[in-house]
Amino acid sequence: MSTTCTLPSVIREETSLLSLINPTFATSLGNAQTKNGDPIDEIAQDDDVENLDDDDVDIATDSEEGELDIPRPLPKVLTPAQRRKKERKDVVLSKWRGPVCQEILAPDVIACEQEVTWNDDPEIICSYNWSSTVDGSNTIYVPGAPTKWTPRDIPYYVPGDAGFHPTDYNYVRQPADPFSAVFYAMTLANPGFNLKESDILADRNNLRTLLEVVQGKTVGPFRLDLYLIFNTLIIVRREDGFWRRSDGKSYGFNFEKHFTTPIPDMADASSHYRAIRYRMGPLRVVCRFEADAYVDTASDIQPESGAAAIVPSIPIEPDLLKRPNFIYRAPFKVLQKGHYVPGNQLLELKTQVERPREEGQSNVSCQDQLWFGRTTHLYTGRYESGTGKVLYVKKEDATERIRKWEERHQESLRKLVGLLTMLRDICRQQEGPAKAVILVREDPKGPLVVHKMQDKRKIVQREFFERHWLAHNKPKRSASRENRLARGDIRGGRGTSGLDAYRGGLQVRGGGSHTYQRRTRPTTDTNHGRLKAGPQPGPRHDASQDAPRGAPSTKSSSTQPSSSPDFGSIDAALRSGLRQDVLQDERTLR
- The domain limits of the chain are 13-41+463-589, 54-453
pTM for this prediction: 0.71
Strand partners, 558: 333
Instruction: Please check whether residue 225 is in contact with residue 96, taking contact to mean a CB–CB distance below 8 angstroms.
Output: no
CB atoms within 10 A of CB 10: 17
Type of residue found at 335: L
Q: Say how far apart CA 132 and CA 113 lie, in whole Å.
A: 45
DSSP collapsed to 3 states, 366-405: CHHHHHHHCCCEEEEEEECCCCCEEEEEEEEECHHHHHHH
Cis, bond preceding 331 (omega within 30 deg of 0): no
Name the nearest CA neighbour of 125 among 454, 552, 573, 521.
552
CB atoms within 10 A of CB 173: 25
**Helix (H) or strand (E) run with residue 289 in it:** strand 283-291
Q: Distance of CA 470 to CAs 38, 115, 192, 549, 575, Å?
A: 21, 31, 11, 22, 10
In a 10 Å sphere around its CB, with 0-12 CB exposed, 13-18 middle and 19+ buried, how is residue 36 labelled?
A: exposed
Instruction: Please check whether residue 15 is in contact with residue 26, taking contact to mean a CB–CB distance below 8 angstroms.
Output: yes
Beta strands in 469-540 (DSSP E): 505-508, 514-517, 523-525, 530-532
pLDDT at 76: 72
Q: Convert 495-512 to b/e letters by CB count within 10 Å (16 or more is b).
A: ebebbeebebbbeeeeee
Strand partners, 532: 523
Q: What is the pLDDT along the chain (590 residues), one digit of tens a residue?
A: 433 333 333 333 333 333 333 433 344 444 333 333 333 344 545 444 445 455 555 555 545 555 555 666 667 777 887 788 788 888 989 999 999 999 999 999 999 999 999 999 999 999 999 998 888 889 999 999 999 999 999 999 998 887 777 878 899 888 889 999 999 999 999 999 999 999 999 999 999 999 999 999 999 899 999 999 999 999 999 987 776 777 767 888 889 999 999 999 899 999 999 999 999 999 999 999 999 999 987 544 344 443 443 444 445 565 556 666 778 888 899 999 999 999 999 999 999 999 887 777 788 889 999 999 999 999 999 999 989 999 999 999 999 999 999 999 999 999 999 999 999 999 999 988 899 999 999 999 999 999 999 988 888 999 999 999 999 987 665 555 555 545 555 444 433 333 233 233 333 333 333 434 434 333 333 333 333 333 434 443 443 333 444 444 444 444 444 333 343 443 343 344 433 443 343 333 33
